[in-house]
């Protein structure tokens, strides 16, 4: 299945005792949707692409702004004004030409979410707004798709593998609405434009998302699968809060 060049490319991970050609083949046969091409995606995308995932669809309608560059490290000063999806995929195609990359230069909406999410194995939520997070959650529920959620606020990051099989526990994990049942008002939780953020935090959380996506695609257990993880950058600590799935989780 893999060419000699691919085996050489993935040789370091294939030397891990726990990782073999079966795991690599699972990644190669997987298709994922990455929603958002901002700070989280700049951390997640390079490791998802370089790990050997077969197909990655990236959707985002934004253009690069100068204020993005302190945290969205896939982009450069001379690229300001260009579409994030276009630039991100140009760079990712050079990182691993064996990854099938598809870019959609628009936002995820109610009009396109069903078609996109129904066709993939996993969604990686790299968005920065609540409306899209709830749209991802509710659409994933309709099609029984897992998704990797992450968010940042000041010095804190959150992460979870939502709506997935909890490996080793024979249960279905909680959804995003199990953690946060109702969408907050516009003035309740400020975004990073208002609250501020240092660029390393979304990068770190994006790398964690890549780890969770890879683990789920090869059916490996993880503390973030079926729980909400809270990373405190000041304390450099991570705590996981396990939660059972709500009985009415599928009622949207």
pLDDT in tens, the chain (252 residues): 899 999 999 999 999 999 999 999 999 999 999 999 999 999 999 999 999 999 999 999 999 999 999 999 999 999 999 999 999 999 999 999 999 999 999 999 999 999 999 999 999 999 999 999 999 999 999 999 999 999 999 899 999 999 999 998 889 999 999 999 988 765 655 565 666 789 899 999 999 999 999 999 999 999 999 999 999 999 999 999 999 998 777 765
What pLDDT, on the 0 to 100 scale, is given for residue 188?
Answer: 52
Distance CA 61, CA 59 (A): 7
Identify the helix (H) or strand (E) that includes residue 48. helix 39-51
pTM reported for the whole predicted model:
0.95
* Per-residue three-class SS string for 105-142: CCCCCCCCHHHHHHCCCEEEECCCCHHHHHHHHHHHHH
Q: What pLDDT does residue 187 have? A: 60
Can you give the pLDDT at residue 182?
Answer: 84
CA dist., res. 84 & res. 143, Å (int): 28
Please state, in angstroms and rounded to a whole number, the distance separating the CA atoms of residues 42 and 202: 8
């Amino acid at each position: 299945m893999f060419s000699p060049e691919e085996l050489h490319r993935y040789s370091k991970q294939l030397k891990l005792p726990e990782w073999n050609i079966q795991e690599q083949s699972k990644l190669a046969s997987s298709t994922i949707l990455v929603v958002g091409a901002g700070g989280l995606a700049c951390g997640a995308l390079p490791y998802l692409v370089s790990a050997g995932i077969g197909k990655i669809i990236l959707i985002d309608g934004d253009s690069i702004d100068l204020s993005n560059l302190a945290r969205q490290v896939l982009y450069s000063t001379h690229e300001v004004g260009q579409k994030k999806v276009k630039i991100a995929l140009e760079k990712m195609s050079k990182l691993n030409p064996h990854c099938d990359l598809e870019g959609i230069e628009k936002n995820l909406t109610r009009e396109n979410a069903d078609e996109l999410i129904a066709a993939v194995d996993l969604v990686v939520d790299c968005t920065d707004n609540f409306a899209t997070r709830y749209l991802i959650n509710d659409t994933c529920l309709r099609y029984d798709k897992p998704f990797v959620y992450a968010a940042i606020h000041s010095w804190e990051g959150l992460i979870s593998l939502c709506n997935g099989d909890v490996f080793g526990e024979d249960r279905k994990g909680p959804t995003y609405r199990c953690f946060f049942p109702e969408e907050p008002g516009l003035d309740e939780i400020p975004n990073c434009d208002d609250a501020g953020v240092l660029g390393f935090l979304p990068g770190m959380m994006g790398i964690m998302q890549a780890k969770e996506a890879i683990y789920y695609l090869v059916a490996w257990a993880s503390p973030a699968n079926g729980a909400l993880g809270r990373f405190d950058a000041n304390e450099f600590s991570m705590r996981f809060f396990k939660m059972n799935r709500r009985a009415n989780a599928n009622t949207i």
